[in-house]
Amino acid sequence: MQVLSLALLGLALLGLAVALASAKPLRGMCRDSQLVFPEGERISAPRPHEYINVEDLPTTFSWANVSGVNYLTRSRNQHIPEYCGSCVAFATTSSLNDRMAILRRKAWPEINLAPQVLLNCNAGVSCEGGNAGPVFEHIHRNGVPDETCQNYEARDGECTAMGICETCDPNKGCSPITNYTLYYVAEFGNLVGVDQMKAEIYARGPIVAGIDATDKLEAYTHGIFSEEKILPVPNHEISIVGWGVEDGTEYWVVRNSWGTYFGEEGFFRINMHENNLAINSQPAFAVPAFHKNVSAMEPYINLGAEITAELEARAAGRLFMHRTVDMPAFTSHQFAEGSLFDPATKGKAVRHNVKSSHVVSPLPHTYLTPEDLPETYDPRNINGMDYTTANRNQHIPQYCGSCWAHGTTSALADRIKLLRKGAFPDIQPSVQVLVNCVTANETHGCEGGDPTAAHNWIYENGIPDETCTNYLAKDEVCNAANTCKTCSPETGTCTAISDPPKLHIAEYGQVAGEHNMMAEIYARGPIAGTIAVPPALETWNGQGIFNDTTGDVSLDHEIEIAGWGVENNVPYWIIRNSWGTYWADTNWFYLIRGTNNLGVEANCDWAVWDGKMPYVNELPVPQA
């Protein structure tokens, strides 16, 4: 009778815990309490724990630092611009983004899948919560595009053609894009126990897992988290990117989706074996695929070991060969005339010859001669690795003429990544904060602006990263909440983050002329430049070198000039745009160099990061 009573008490406590978890508003109960695969797991190759001896795994390992190289993609915030319980969408896509970066050895371009498409299509997740199993099933069947097709809006949208991939025009409104790239999942399943989790992370990349997000976890700032709780029930989804040990305590390295102002640069560390809020109870994985109906990754893959060996060989100057990846070519897409943007309403980089600068160090063209510069320079491929940051699309979810803010922040982000040699983490300055706040030199947000004014504003105020204020493609009031905020699941209200992390620049200025531009780029990184946009460029397919023959030099569009090259004796600039990866060569194009084509060599801007990381609590990254 006593045994029966204890059993009934246990069942009652379990039921109470589930009921409380279901009713609990903290973080919006953004994850179902039980992981499910409605159509069953999809396993077609040996799983890492079946061929890797866990005793052979390193004591510490993190995909943020494999022999000094960071394979993790950018951090995110599910709770802006309004509260949305979309943790499952972010955990699953972040895990897949990281796995694709690992599988492709950080080759260009960085791929960031669109959580908003999963919300729009109710693909196992909504703003009211979700489940990783159905998400992986949806991606396996239907695929998902990258985020330049659909920016995150923190809302449940509609699963229409425009809800999957769109572009917007100031006169014609928004319309669907049909020629875009989809990414898939080949395999998915669950994991049981720490050994299986470690083997999967090491061999194929980050995994997802549920956790009981408590008040104490929400208040986490740094260190190895531990909390004793009776019958913890997962209500939040995260991804696990590695593990470590400190003072004899093993811990998981966990990526969250609450912004970089949370915890240690948006991450947290948690006790691996006990008092860890059920993080080991329901982990899962998915294997990305670059084509539909791919059955499996190559069997017996062990990316952790392979990449470590490759990097060690490279450091020692030895040749090595790594596995090839069957994936789509990141090249051009052709559009019909006028299908993207109205040439009469391009928008808009405003140049009023109101110059502003703060120069404190020698300019590169004063100490680098043309002979000092290489024939080609491309930060997308330096020793096989990509040192550029994420691609963007200024024209969604509605049209916004914010090229002036995109060109400047992309160039600055790439400069920071180059200066830090690609170390964790990538930092993406907030475009939206510039749209909201910059007013100098007749800058008017989505109606156009001045890149010099953008740099001046950053110099005077600092700028937060994208997880403080994500891109909305609309003008908002410049205040504390629209600079950095979080939104509450309990009330739905959004509040400013006090003293948010901001990055600063030490100097900024202008540069013009082919040699001066090349010297600036080679010494300190990409620059922002202003060009004309004739109709032929808007519909450019990305193949070959663009050469305008109309003589158009009406400067009205801002881009990033990242490098240069020569093809068949024709010199060209390597340029990043902000029109989405479905435009031209994955949002990039090549422009004839040395003739001031489109006015590209007349007005350029640069800024130099001050070298100080903006985050109060940095993530200690164990090196594999």
> Which residues are part of the catalytic machinery?
87, 236, 256
Residue type, 265: E
Largest CA distance in the chain: 93
Euclidean distance between CA atoms 122 and 130, whole angstroms: 9
129-130 and 125-126 strand pairing: antiparallel
SS3 content of the chain, % helix, strand, coil (to 5): 25, 20, 55
Rounded Cα distance between 86 and 489, Å, is: 11
Q: How far is 20 from 130, CA to CA, in rounded Å?
A: 17
From CA 295, how far away is CA 211, in angstroms rounded? 30
3-state secondary structure of 246: strand
H helix runs in 60-161, sequence order: 87-103, 115-120, 132-142
Residues contacting residue 436 through CB under 8 Å, at least 6 positions apart: 445, 469, 475, 476, 477, 478, 482, 483
Closest C-alpha to 220, from 270, 290, 277? 270
DSSP 446-474: GG-B-HHHHHHHHHHH-B-BTTTS---SS
Q: Are 286 and 136 in contact (CB under 8 A)?
A: yes
Compute φ and ψ for 146, nearest 5 degrees: -80, 175
φ, ψ of residue 138 to 5 degrees: the values are -65, -45
Give the span between the Cα atoms of 158 and 117, in whole angstroms: 9
Cis peptide before 81 (omega within 30 of 0): yes
3-state secondary structure of 222: coil
CA 502/CA 489 separation, integer angstroms: 25
Q: Dihedral, CA atoms, 134, 136, 142, 143, nearest 10 degrees?
A: 150
For residue 483, what are the contacts with CB-CB under 8 A and spacing of at least 6?
433, 436, 437, 464, 468, 469, 496, 500
196 φ, ψ to 5°? -65, -40
- Residue pointed to by tokens 């899948």: 113
Q: What are the strands, taking DSSP E only, across 539-610?
A: 557-567, 570-576, 588-592, 604-609
Partners of residue 208 on adjacent β-strands: 239, 284
Q: How many CB atoms lie within 10 A of CB 394?
A: 27
Cα angle value 151/153/155 (rounded, 5°): 135
How far apart are alpha carbons 597 and 547 in whole angstroms?
Answer: 7
Strand (E) or helix (H) holding 20: helix 2-23
